[in-house]
Amino acid sequence: MLDLDTKNKLKEYLSLLEKDILIKLSVGSDEASKNMESFINEVSSLSNFIKVQKTSLERTPSFSINQVNKDFGISFAGVPLGHEFSSFILALLQVGGRKPKLDDNLISQIKNINDKLNFVTYVNLSCQICPDVVQTLNIMSVINPNISHTMVDGASFQDEVNAKNIMAVPTIYLNDDLFHSGRITIEEILEKLGINTTKNFSEQLFDVLVIGGGPAGASATIYAARKGIKTGLIAERIGGQVLDTSTIENVISVKSTTGTKLASDLEEHIKDYDATIIKGHKVKEISKTDYFNVTLENNTVINSKTVVIATGASWRNLNVPGEHELKTKGVAYCPHCDGPLFKGKDIAVVGGGNSGIEAAIDLAKIASHVTILEFLPELKADKVLQERLYKLPNVKVLTNVAVKEILGTEKVNGLIYTDRETSKEHRIDLEGVFVQIGLAPNTNWLGDFVERNKFGEILVDAKGATNVPGVFAAGDCTNSPYKQIIISMGSGATAALSAFNYLIRN
C-alpha cells in the first residue's frame, strides 16, 4: 500500500526506534481488514524492531501499538494514511522510546492524572486539523498508563459515526461521553480535566506580552525576544487562521506551503528564542493598574509592562436561529475538514465570495447537491471561479436571498431563506450548511479598553500604537486595509519594535 519513496523515508524514521514494538492486529476477512493487514505487514517488514501479533480488539479492523511487554493504549481503527500517516509514525517512534516534544511541566501534570481516561477521536483522513488532536492524545497515552486513545476513521466506521450523529471532525469522546468537537490543544484538554496549566505564570512580570499566536503574534514575539526583553505569548494555538488554510502561495520566498506546516514553522521559530509560550488559552479581559493586567478565561492574571494585541479574526457567523445550536451537527465552517462527512448528501453554502465559491466547487465533488445562497444580487467571487462553478451539474445558485433560520433538532434537516425582492420565504431540505461569509476581528473581549472602528477593528497608527499608551496591535484584528499573512507579519514586527521603544523611553 506504500510506494517505494514512502517506504524508504519510513525506513529512515524507523531506524530511530530504541525499543521493540508489538503491533496487535485485529482483522477479519473483509476488504478493509485485508488492506489494514497489508499495510501493517509492509511497515513491519521495514524494521527488525517491529513484531505483529493477531488478536481481538474492540473494533475490527484496528490495531494497537505497544512495547513487547507493555501496552500503551494507542489504537488506530482504520488505515492511518492521508494526514494521519504522520500520527502513525510519531506513535511508533514514541512507543519505541523517543521522548515526545513536550514541556516538562506539562509532562509532569499528565503523569499526575490518576483517573482512567479512555479517549476516542473520530477523524477523516483528509482532515488537516485532526492529526494535531490525534497526536496530542497519543502523547498523553504514552506518558500515562491510565490514559488510552483510539483514532477512528469515520469513513471505515460509518455506522458508528451515524449512530453518534457525528457531523464534524475531529470529534472526541471521553469514557463514552462527548468531550469536544474541533481543534483542541493539550493545554485545553488539561484545563477541561480540571488542571490549571497557567498558575505559575501569574508570578511573573513581562516586558512585552503578546496576545495571539497567528503570523502577527509570532512575528511580534520573535522581534521582542530578539531585543533581549522578557517576552510572553498567550495563544489558543500557534498559527491562528493559518491552520484552516490548505495551500499558501503568497509568502515571499516560499513558493508553496500548507497552513499546518507554516504554523509549525512559526512555533519552532519562536522556540529558538527566550520567550514564554502560554498556549491553549484565551484572554478574557485586560485592565491597567501599575502594569497591564491580562486575565485569562481560567481567571489567571498575567502582568506586563506593555501589550501587543494580535488576536486576528475568525469566521463570521450568520447569527440566525439554529446556527449555534446545530454547530458540528450539520452547520460547518471548514469544507476541507468536514466535507467528507457529507458524501452523497444535499448541502448549502452560504456566501458568494471567493471562499464560498471555492468551497462549493470542492463540495460538489462529494455532495449530491449544493445550493449556494448569496445576500447580494450577484456573486462576489472572481470570474474564473464563477465560470468553473456554472459548469457543475449539481449546483444551484440563489442570489439576493437572506438566510432566516437553520432547521433541525439532533442534526440539520433544512434551511429557510427569504427572497429579498419578494419577501417570500422558502424552505430547502438538506443535511448540511457551510457558512462562508467572511471574517470578523476577534476583539469583542476588549470592550472599551482600546478604540475600535464600527467593524470592531482596533485603530492603530503607523507604529502599531493604539490610543492607550503601552498597548500596541497588529494583524487582522486592526484596521489594516489588507488582511494578508505577510502584512500581518510586518505589522507584528512593527508593534514589537514600537513596544521596545516605548519601554526604553518610559
Model pLDDT, residue 238: 94
Q: Which of 320, 309, 351, 345 is nearest to 439 (CA)?
A: 351
**DSSP character string of 183-196:** ---HHHHHHHTT--
Answer whether residue 368 is part of any domain.
yes
Answer whether residue 324 is part of any domain.
no
Based on the fold, state whether residues 466 and 401 are members of the same structural domain.
no
Q: Is the dihedral of CA 474, 475, 479, 481 positive or negative?
A: positive
Q: Omega before 61 cis (within 30°)?
A: yes
CB 474 within 8 A of CB 312: no
Based on the fold, state whether residues 152 and 219 are members of the same structural domain.
no
* 67 has a pLDDT exceeding 90: yes
Distance of CA 433 to the CA centre of its chain: 20
Whole-number Cα distances in Å, 373 to 55, 340, 370, 394, 417: 51, 21, 10, 15, 9
Based on the fold, state whether residues 253 and 176 are members of the same structural domain.
no
Side chain identity at residue 55, one-letter code: T
Answer whether residue 319 is part of any domain.
no
Cell of 147: 490514559
Cell of 364: 460538489
Based on the fold, state whether residues 360 and 243 are members of the same structural domain.
no
Percent of the chain, pLDDT > 70?
Answer: 100
Rounded mean pLDDT, 311-332: 92
Answer whether residue 348 is part of any domain.
yes
Percent of the chain, pLDDT > 90?
Answer: 85
Model pLDDT, residue 439: 85
Q: From 408, 437, 466, give the residue that closes a domain.
A: 437
Rounded mean pLDDT, 7-36: 95
**Segment holding 346, helix H or strand E:** strand 346-350
pTM value is 0.75
* 247 has a pLDDT exceeding 80: no
The per-residue b/e assignment along 96-107, b for 16 or more CB within 10 angstroms, e otherwise, is bebebeeeeebb
Which residue in the list 127, 130, 334, 477 is annotated as catalytic?
Answer: 334
Cell of 190: 488539561
Q: Render pLDDT for 225-236 as a digit per residue (tens, 0 to 9).
A: 999 999 999 999
Q: Which domain holds residue 266?
A: 201-314+440-505
Q: From 397, 416, 437, give the residue that closes a domain.
A: 437
**Radius of gyration over every alpha carbon of the chain, rounded to an integer in angstroms:** 24
Rounded mean pLDDT, 41-59: 96
Based on the fold, state whether residues 365 and 232 are members of the same structural domain.
no
Q: Render pLDDT for 383-441 as a digit per residue (tens, 0 to 9).
A: 999 999 999 999 999 999 999 999 998 899 999 999 999 999 999 999 999 999 988 99
Based on the fold, state whether residues 432 and 459 are members of the same structural domain.
no
The total of structural domains in the chain comes to: 3
Phi, psi of 146 (to 5 degrees): -80, -10
Instruction: Assign residue 448 the CATH number of its domain.
Output: 3.50.50.60
Number of neighbouring beta carbons within 10 Å of residue 211: 28
Answer whether residue 30 is part of any domain.
yes
pLDDT greater at residue 247 or residue 66? 66
Based on the fold, state whether residues 360 and 425 are members of the same structural domain.
yes
Name the pairing type of β-strands 117-123 and 70-77.
unpaired
Cell of 151: 483514532
Answer whether residue 139 is part of any domain.
yes
CB 74 within 8 A of CB 92: no
Which residue in the list 338, 429, 476, 477 is annotated as catalytic?
Answer: 338
Rounded mean pLDDT, 15-20: 94
Based on the fold, state whether residues 134 and 94 are members of the same structural domain.
yes
Based on the fold, state whether residues 69 and 148 are members of the same structural domain.
yes
Number of neighbouring beta carbons within 10 Å of residue 185: 19
Answer whether residue 387 is part of any domain.
yes
Our answer to whether residue 477 is catalytic in this structure is: no
Cell of 304: 506586563
Our answer to whether residue 130 is catalytic in this structure is: no
The per-residue b/e assignment along 459-489, b for 16 or more CB within 10 angstroms, e otherwise, is ebeeebbbeeebbbbbbbbbebeebebebbb
Name the pairing type of β-strands 346-350 and 369-374.
parallel
Is 366 exposed, middle or buried (CB count within 10 Å of its CB: 0-12, 13-18, 19+)?
A: middle
**Segment holding 403, helix H or strand E:** strand 401-408
Which residue in the list 337, 429, 476, 477 is annotated as catalytic?
Answer: 337
Q: From 394, 422, 437, give the residue that closes a domain.
A: 437
Per-chain mean pLDDT for the chain? 94
Based on the fold, state whether residues 407 and 446 are members of the same structural domain.
no
Cβ neighbours of residue 228 under 8 Å, at least 6 residues apart?
none
SS in 3 state form for 229-249?
Answer: CCEEEEECCCCHHHHHCCEEC
**Segment holding 159, helix H or strand E:** helix 158-163
How far is it, in rounded angstroms, from Cα 183 to Cα 167? 14
Model pLDDT, residue 88: 97
How far is it, in rounded angstroms, from Cα 91 to Cα 393? 43
Instruction: Assign residue 176 the CATH number of its domain.
Output: 3.40.30.80
Our answer to whether residue 127 is catalytic in this structure is: no
Model pLDDT, residue 486: 95
Model pLDDT, residue 300: 94
Rounded mean pLDDT, 93-104: 91
Based on the fold, state whether residues 215 and 181 are members of the same structural domain.
no
Based on the fold, state whether residues 98 and 57 are members of the same structural domain.
yes
Answer whether residue 358 is part of any domain.
yes
